């Protein structure tokens, strides 16, 4: 996997070349005034710094064998509301 860098104007002139490079698996960095503003890569490309476990999870998710969760803490557990017969049985236990 190569890392290619294009300025904005050069990227506009070589769009087809950049897309083919990204399709091969290369990462294309688009810069404006020397600062990176975008990265062009295949959707299934690995992020730099992904661990082997992360790559394995992404591969399994792409195959449909695994569903990735959302990042962040799990919502707090809420007790289900008790209605009807269940409420009566709960009251009888007391």
Decide if 4 contacts 26 (C-beta within 8 A). Answer: yes
Number of domains, the chain: 1
Profile the chain (94 residues) by mean pLDDT over runs of 10 residues. 88 93 88 92 72 84 85 83 75 77
Our CA dihedral for 18, 10, 6, 22, rounded to 10 degrees, sits at -10
SS3 39: strand
User: Residue 82 falls within a domain, yes or no?
Assistant: no
Structural domain boundaries, residue 55: 3-62
Strand partners, 30: 6, 38
User: Taking CA 58 as the corner, what is the angle to CA 69 and CA 24, rounded to the nearest 5 degrees?
Assistant: 145
CB neighbours of 45 closer than 8 A, spacing ≥ 6? 1, 25, 27
Express each pLDDT in 54-73 by its tens digit. Answer: 878 888 888 889 888 877 88
The pTM of the full predicted model, rounded to 2 decimals, is: 0.50
């Amino acid at each position: 996997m190569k890392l290619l860098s294009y300025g904005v104007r050069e990227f506009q002139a070589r769009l087809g070349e950049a897309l083919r490079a990204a399709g091969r698996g290369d990462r294309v960095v688009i810069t404006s005034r020397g600062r990176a503003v975008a990265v062009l890569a295949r959707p299934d490309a690995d992020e730099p710094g992904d661990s082997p476990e992360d790559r394995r999870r992404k591969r399994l998710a792409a195959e449909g064998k695994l569903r990735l969760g959302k990042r962040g803490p799990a919502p707090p557990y809420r007790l289900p509301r008790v209605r009807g017969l269940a409420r009566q049985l709960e009251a009888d236990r007391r």
